[in-house]
């Protein structure tokens, strides 16, 4: 155990997502206290759902450092790596199935289960709910003043923005803002699929299903709670959600019309879903985005390098950043600036590579003849052993 200094510096982490929680837990393991400020009134990660693949070389390393790797292995779904790829006619291009004795390198876990696993280990007094950061102000003495929407003002030595895509910390460091990627994803849920829709359960199998064609996609992912999360995805104008005329709380018929010439088994992902549809515009930060060094402030996770989900890297990068930043602070307990500098230099390098991969993957998945191209790419990875 190593204390940060005789007088503990005040460290604020804005955001209790997977990144913020990983950082707080690793630092706590080294005897360094932080406070997480989370805008929600309680942990909402279970409600946010979604299954995430956690990579051996990044996310899993961070979980080891946080001391929760064994728990993760108990909760991870190794069979969730199964992957099926179709075109709109229902022609199959890839059908990858994990053998029951195999343990792959990218098992799946539900976002809520992952966050709870981390949260359970964090001292309860170190996370404050109902604290939505409104703005922050740099003070002449190098500290930063945090203004929360609930009226509270705090002053801290180190401010860490782990507050995701719409970060309120980022404007302190840069004028660069997130940009709409051109992709809008409509999130749907097919509940208890095994019991309610055995035909779809059999079609989807145990992991992910991608159907891609005509710059559109239907993506299904079996979650640990028995639901299939579905993303009907479209390359459309930013304003499409407002102008398309689809009433999103009862919208399955007009949505089905957008996929009218798609195979019936694929359309079942929409037909069988609950009526509530959550539209999400997918945003990114420019690949290679950097900010000017700023005393006592840094960013990580989506706040630092928002990328589209098509390389499955977002959460892995957030947790890996958390680990690198925590270890840099541990290496330089009395020199926060040195710690930030080391972390940022490393992070810019590895994250820009992943951001480029995500951008390429988005372009490929929503190009013409995407299923053929994606199958070719994945087959070439296997041949080359990548
Ligand atoms: C549809 C979709 C599918 C995805 N699929 C995958 C996938 O398969 N694999 C993958 O790796 N990634 C995926 N991602 C991306 C992944 O979810 C993110 O990269 C990851 O959650 C980033 O973690 P984070 O901790 O940086 O930020 P977040 O998870 O966004 O957490 C930010 C936290 O900050 C809080 N917050 C925000 N603003 C404030 C404020 N002003 N004050 C206080 N608190 C605040 C939020 O409530 C939240 O708890 C997907 C994303 C989307 C949209």
Interval 220-237: pLDDT, tens: 999 999 999 999 999 999
- For the purposes of burial, counting CB atoms within 10 Å of the CB of 230, is it exposed (0-12), middle (13-18) or buried (19 or more)? buried
1 band by pLDDT with thresholds 50, 70 and 90: very low
- The Cα–Cα gap between 253 and 13 comes to 43
pLDDT for the residue numbered 366: 96
Is residue 52 in contact with ligand 1, taking CB distance under 6 Å?
A: yes
In the predicted structure, residue 339 carries a pLDDT above the cut 70? yes
Is residue 133 in contact with ligand 1, taking CB distance under 6 Å?
A: yes
DSSP string, 151-202: S-EEEESEEEE---TT-SSGGGT-S---EEEEEEEEEEEE-SHHHH-HHHHH
pLDDT, tens digit, 9 for 90 and up, residues 15-72:
999 999 999 999 999 999 999 999 999 888 767 778 999 999 999 999 999 999 999 9
Mean pLDDT, range 203-219, rounded to an integer: 97
328 band by pLDDT with thresholds 50, 70 and 90: very high
- Domain range annotation of the chain: 11-77+107-178+285-365, 181-283
In the predicted structure, residue 383 carries a pLDDT above the cut 70? no
11-77+107-178+285-365 fold: FAD/NAD(P)-binding domain (3.50.50)
SS3 category, 282: strand
pLDDT, tens digit, 9 for 90 and up, residues 131-185:
999 999 999 999 999 999 999 999 999 999 999 999 999 999 999 999 999 999 9
pLDDT for the residue numbered 36: 98
Residue 208: enclosing H or E segment and its boundaries? strand 208-213
> What is the rounded average pLDDT for all residues in the chain?
94
Ligand 1, pocket-test mutation among 14, 17, 77, 131, most atoms within 8 A of CB = 17
25, 29, 1, 10: which is closest to 122 by C-alpha? 25
In the predicted structure, residue 6 carries a pLDDT above the cut 60? no
Is residue 285 in contact with ligand 1, taking CB distance under 6 Å?
A: no
Distance 380 CA to ligand 1 centre (A): 31
Which CATH architecture best describes the domain 181-283? 2-Layer Sandwich (3.30)
Is residue 316 in contact with ligand 1, taking CB distance under 6 Å?
A: yes
């Amino acid at each position: 155990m190593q204390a940060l200094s005789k007088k503990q510096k005040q460290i604020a982490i804005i955001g209790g997502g997977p990144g913020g929680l990983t950082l707080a837990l690793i630092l706590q393991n080294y005897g360094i206290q932080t406070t997480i400020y989370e805008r929600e009134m309680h942990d909402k990660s279970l409600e946010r759902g979604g299954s995430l693949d956690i990579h051996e070389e990044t996310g899993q390393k961070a979980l080891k450092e946080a001391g929760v790797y064994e728990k993760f292995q108990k909760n991870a779904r190794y069979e969730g790596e199964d992957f099926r790829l179709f075109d709109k006619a229902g022609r199959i291009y890839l059908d990858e199935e994990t053998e029951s004795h195999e343990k792959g390198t990218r098992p799946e876990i539900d976002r809520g289960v992952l966050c709870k696993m981390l949260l359970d280990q964090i001292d309860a007094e170190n996370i404050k709910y109902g604290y939505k950061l409104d703005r922050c102000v740099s003070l002449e003495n190098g500290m930063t003043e945090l203004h929360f929407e609930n009226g509270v003002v705090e002053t801290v030595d180190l401010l860490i923005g782990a507050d995701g895509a719409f970060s309120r910390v980022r404007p302190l460091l840069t004028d660069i803002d997130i940009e709409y990627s051109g992709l809008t994803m409509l999130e749907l849920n097919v509940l208890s699929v095994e019991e309610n829709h055995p035909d779809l359960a059999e079609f989807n199998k145990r992991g992910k299903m991608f159907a891609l064609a005509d710059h559109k996609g239907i993506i299904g992912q079996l979650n640990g709670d028995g639901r299939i999360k579905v993303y009907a995805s479209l390359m459309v104008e930013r304003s499409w959600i407002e102008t398309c005329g689809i009433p999103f709380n009862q919208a399955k018929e007009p949505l089905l019309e957008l996929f009218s010439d798609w195979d019936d088994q694929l359309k079942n992902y929409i037909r069988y879903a609950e009526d509530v549809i959550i539209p999400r515009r997918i945003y990114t930060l420019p690949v290679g985005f950097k900010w000017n060094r700023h005393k006592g402030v840094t960013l990580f996770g989506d706040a630092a390098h928002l990328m589209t989900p098509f390389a499955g890297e977002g959460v892995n990068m957030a947790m890996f950043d958390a680990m690198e930043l925590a270890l840099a602070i541990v290496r330089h307990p009395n020199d926060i600036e040195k710690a930030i500098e080391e972390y940022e230099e490393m992070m810019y390098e590895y994250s820009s590579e992943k951001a480029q991969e995500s951008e390429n993957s988005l372009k490929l998945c929503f190009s013409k003849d995407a299923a053929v191209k994606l199958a070719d790419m994945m087959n070439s990875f296997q041949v080359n052993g990548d």
